Every structure is written in C-alpha cells, then in structure tokens.
C-alpha cells in the first residue's frame, strides 16, 4: 500500500510540474492571461504566480535546469512498461531472435545498468544485432561507456553510467533500472554495505526510565 501511495504522489507531483511549466511557457512568457482556458484559476493566485516565475531567483534556477536538460542524451522509448517489463518481454524476444540467428548480442558489451539505459534509447534490435541509436547524443554516450569500461569502476550512484553521463543520480529513482524504486531497492542487496546506517544511541532507555522514577 505504501508503494502504491508513493507512486500516486509521484504522479501527482509530475503532473503539477508539467502544469506549471505549461503556464509559464504558454502564458507568462507570452504575456497572456490563462482565465479563458483555465477558468478555475483565481486572479490573486495568478498574480502571485507571475511574481514568482519572473523573479531573479526563479530565472536563475530555470536556466540552471535548462542547462542540465541540455545534457540529456535522449528520451527513452519505454512507454508505460518500464525497464522491468521490457527486459521480461520485448528485449527477451529480441535476445532470443539474435541467439537463434547466431548473431552476437551487442548489448552485452555494456556493463551493468548502462545496457538497459542505452537500449531504452535505441530502436528495435533486429536478429542481425545491429544497433540503431535514436540520436547522436545517445551514440556518444555509448562510446563513452565503452571507453570507460576498461579504465573505470564504481558502484551504485558512482558507477560507469553516472560517470559517462556526468550528472548526479537523483534520489527516488535509478537510471537504467526504475523511475519509482529508490536507491536501496533498485541497487540491490549486493550494495548493502554502502547504505547509510542510522546511528544507534548508546543510552539504555530502560535505565533512563528507572532514573526518572526515582
């Protein structure tokens, strides 16, 4: 139930961000009012929204994230299925077709989660094993992963994929694994030794209760 609730809140937050982004792009930047399209909006809320989205702090933050967005190598083609279902379904069928045809599986050259991350940004892999990249940025990322493979090593959020992309891993999701699983679940038990441990108090609570009752 907690996972379902968490996924619902993530979807709501995403829709809210998209709605605000459209308001800025279609109305604030165009100098238009949204009341004919969004009749539920309050005039005072709109004035406050304009004040916030035209402030120097907001514009600096917007420019920062725009630059980060420009470093994204390409949008994935997962659809609503996600990585897990692709690996169990379509990708497994493609792998079987390549094996039956006697073709080398090109995705095995990419280590760890870099393989599904890149595969989600490429076209259907035919039985001949030829990769067709969605754009030049994804191709450059793939070349960078191969370049780092023999020289770099790392785990969790500091692995080859993160190094190749050169952006930090966001909490609450793991690239190449899941957009809804957190680090603890997505990175697996093999990295349990790297989880941050909560410090346990050395104070005995039973002893404190006895002292308070004296």
User: 123 and 40, same structural domain?
Assistant: no
User: 184 and 85, same structural domain?
Assistant: yes
Residues 168-180 have a mean pLDDT of 68
Label residue 202 exposed, middle or buried (CB < 10 Å: 0-12, 13-18, 19+).
exposed
pLDDT(197) > 80: no
Selection from 113, 133, 119 nearest residue 90 by Cα: 119
pLDDT at 208: 52
User: 145 and 50, same structural domain?
Assistant: no
pLDDT at 167: 72
**Ramachandran assignment for 34, one of left (phi > 0), alpha (psi -120 to 50 degrees), beta (any other):** alpha
- Distance, in Å, from the CA atom of 213 to the CA atom of 30, rounded to the nearest integer, reads 69
- Distance, in Å, from the CA atom of 201 to the CA atom of 55, rounded to the nearest integer, reads 45
Full residue range of the structural domain in which residue 163 is found: 79-189
Rounded to 5°, angle at Cα 179 from 175 and 183:
70
pLDDT(138) > 50: yes
- Distance, in Å, from the CA atom of 17 to the CA atom of 22, rounded to the nearest integer, reads 9
- Looking at the domain assignment, is residue 214 inside a domain? no
User: 33 and 97, same structural domain?
Assistant: no
pLDDT at 47: 94
Residues linked to residue 178 through DSSP beta bridges, in sequence order: 174
pLDDT at 35: 92
User: 42 and 90, same structural domain?
Assistant: no
User: 87 and 185, same structural domain?
Assistant: yes
193 confidence band (pLDDT: 50, 70, 90)? very low
- 23-64 pLDDT, tens per residue? 999 999 999 999 999 999 999 999 999 999 999 999 888 887
Helix (H), strand (E), coil (C) string for 28-47: HCCCCCCCCCCCCCCHHHHH
User: 164 and 118, same structural domain?
Assistant: yes
Concatenated DSSP letters for 91-125? HHHHHHHHHHHT---GGGGS-TTHHHHHHTTB---
Beta strands (DSSP E) in 77-212 are none
Contacts for 132-136: CB closer than 8 Å, 24+ residues apart: 133/74, 134/74, 134/75, 134/77, 135/73, 135/74
User: 6 and 108, same structural domain?
Assistant: no
> In degrees rounded to 5, what are phi and psi of residue 136?
-65, -30
Number of domains in the chain: 2
User: 45 and 128, same structural domain?
Assistant: no
Chain mean pLDDT for the chain: 79
8 Å CB contact between 86 and 150: no
User: 164 and 102, same structural domain?
Assistant: yes
On whether the pTM is more than 0.75, the answer is no
């Amino acid at each position: 139930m907690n996972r379902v609730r968490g996924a619902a809140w993530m979807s709501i937050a995403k829709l809210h961000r998209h709605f605000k982004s459209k308001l800025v792009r279609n109305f604030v930047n165009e100098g238009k009012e949204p009341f004919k399209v969004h009749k539920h909006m309050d005039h005072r809320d709109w004035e406050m929204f304009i004040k916030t989205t035209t402030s120097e702090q907001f514009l600096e933050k917007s420019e920062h994230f725009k630059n980060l967005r420009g470093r994204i190598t390409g949008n994935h083609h997962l659809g609503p299925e996600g990585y897990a279902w692709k690996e169990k379904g379509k990708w497994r069928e493609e792998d079987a077709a390549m094996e039956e045809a006697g073709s080398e599986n090109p995705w095995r050259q990419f280590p760890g989660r870099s393989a599904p991350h890149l595969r989600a940004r490429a076209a259907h892999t035919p039985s001949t094993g030829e990769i067709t990249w969605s754009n030049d940025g994804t191709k450059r990322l793939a070349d960078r992963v191969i370049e780092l493979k023999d020289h770099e090593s790392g785990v969790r959020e500091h692995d080859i994929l993160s190094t190749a992309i050169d952006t930090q891993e966001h909490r609450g999701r793991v690239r190449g694994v899941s957009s809804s699983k957190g680090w603890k679940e997505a990175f697996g038990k093999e990295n349990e030794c790297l989880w941050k441990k909560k410090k346990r108090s050395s104070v005995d609570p039973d002893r404190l209760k006895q002292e308070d009752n004296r």
